[in-house]
Structure 1
Amino acid sequence: MFIPLHDTNDLKYIRLQWVTWSLIALNAIVWGITELAGAYSEFTTATVLGLGFIPSVVNDIAELPPSLVLVPENATYVTYSFLHGDLLHLGSNMIFLWVFGDNVEDALGHIKFLIFYFACAAAGALAHGLMLPTSDSPLIGASGAVAGIVTAYLMLHPKVRIWVLVLGRIPLPLPAFIPLLIWVVFQFYMLVTDIDGDVSWAAHVGGMIAGAALVLVFRRSGVPLFDRRIDSPKAVVHKTTKPEPVNAASPASPPKWGR
């Protein structure tokens, strides 16, 4: 659909979005470790099975061999979100987190944002497990958490200008609500029409619902919803100059043009 490139939304309450940066770094490190080990290596397979969210295991329909149990079953509601299948999977999630995560972190605060991120990831896993309760395939990826961030950003800053790459080649500056609302509707559409696909649209929708609910509770006091201001790019500077008075006593003198 589109790739977010940049927004014009400055931070207002925090100096640095260190939680967002830390999450991106941790996701990249985990992917790098599994990539170095090899996509089909025993280490990567064990990591995906041990840390991925497997509905049949969580619902006590199936059981992992003891050698593959790396964390308690309930912990996989979160640990799955740090695993990614390939660089495209990782990159697509991280660029959304990079563009939109900082302003949601700014609106919530560092600690609440971290709780928000994990809660959206857990909600995505929960929705996936409810949709496919007997599935033996491990769910991986940060999409559920990122979907919650996208929804929160949409509710906080719908009119902020963001640069998006449409169809992979057309850069456009648009108010945030146009691409993000289309993206949200698309997730619900795919949930209904692509039940057996390789993408867990249920995880996306679960994260979105959690993000929409939690931003109402977690945002700082005084942070408004549906901010009405429209931010201009930083390169655009508006100046008001005071015009110089015209000397009525010297009509023959040349006019002084303002800059």
Structure 2
Amino acid sequence: MFFLPLYDDNPTRRRPVVTWMLIAACVLVFMWQVSLPPLQGRAVVFSFGVIPAVLFGNAELPPELRAVPGWASVFSSMFMHGGFLHLGGNMLYLWIFGNNVEDSMGRGRFLLFYLLCGAAAAFAQAIADPASRVPMIGASGAIGGVLGGYLMLHPHANVRVLMWIIIIVRMINVPALVVLGVWFAGQVLSGAMTPVEEGQGGVAFWAHVGGFVAGAALVPFFRRPGVPLFDRPHSRPFEVVPPPPLRRGSVPPSGGRNRP
């Protein structure tokens, strides 16, 4: 069985300009990364990624790799990715859930919220292995904060999920509480089951957990006055969503502003 979230049923009142800008920034930085020769590409990961030992002052980079101070790498690392799947998965989740969280806060507050969640994620992973000299990159921790904030704001909103069982494909409504709850539980279990080994890379599960918890904790303070927590649903949960009918010579409708 395979699940892929596509978009949600949650309307917004304002254009998610900051969400679009964050996606564009990540894509542009990744295009720059892949344009570099392999050795230079590896060097920029060390220059702009978060290295726990450097962040905590237990190690130093060679002078030729010191592009930013250790504390600044917490933010520069959020815009770098390790591959197309890494980038694509992160941007899909930011596209689906970021606009509603931005709508609840306003653009300036949402940008600050995003950066704080990313910083909390980086420190959560660094604290788990403070001696590590392996650079961490990716927007996953900051986006984890967006998911935590979304869960607090719209747990009953339904996410259109593509469900694939062998050869049977269906699109169904799944409550955000289920989609994001399963995602969070998976990160906690994966983090607990993955041994922390100095010098070994991999997925920074504790960064995802730290970002998610930070987002859930911060959203009550960042939302606009009058924006409720635990909003009502806009469609029926666990309902199979039929494909829209097409007339001869017509083109498929967009189906919703959150569709990727």
TM tier, shorter chain? 0.7 to 0.9
Residues 121 and 109 (structure 1), Cα distance of their counterparts in 2 relative to 1, 3 Å cut: same
Using the alignment, how far apart are the partners of 1:170 and 1:204 within structure 2? Answer: 29
TM-score (norm 2): 0.84
Displacement, 1:29? Answer: 0.3
What residue is the counterpart of 2:132 in the other structure? 135
Any idea what the Cα deviations from partners look like across 1:92-113, whole Å, max 9, x if unmatched?
0000000000000000110000
Shift of 1:60: 1.6
- 1:70 equivalent to 2:32? Answer no
> d(CA) in 2 for partners of 1:210 and 1:167?
32
1:203 to 201, 207, 211: 207
Q: 2:150 aligns with which of 153, 158, 172?
A: 153
CA distance in 2, matches of 1:192, 1:181: 17
Identity %: 43
1:112 aligns to 2:131 (yes or no): no
- For residues 230 and 123 of structure 1, do their structure 2 counterparts lie closer, same or farther at Cα, with a shift above 3 Å needed? same
- How far apart are residue 167 of structure 1 and its match? 5.8
Aligned ranges 1:28-67 → 2 under 5 Å = 28-38=27-37, 40-42=38-40, 44-67=41-64
Cα deviation, residue 170, structure 1: 4.9
Rounded Cα–Cα distance in structure 1 between residues aligned with 2:18 and 2:111:
7
Correspondence for 1:193: 193
5+ unaligned residues in a row in structure 1: which ranges? Answer: 237-259
Calculate the TM-score normalised by the size of structure 1: 0.84
Tell me the CA shift for residue 80 of structure 1. Answer: 0.7
Segments of structure 2 that go 5 or more residues without pairing to the other structure are 245-260
What's the secondary structure of 1:230's corresponding residue? coil
Instruction: Give, in angstroms, the shift of residue 195 of structure 1.
Output: 3.1
Number of equivalences = 231
SS in 1 for 2:5: strand
- Whichever of the two has the greater Rg, that structure is 1
Q: Deviations over 1:46-86 (max 9, x none)?
A: 21111100001111221101111111110111111111011
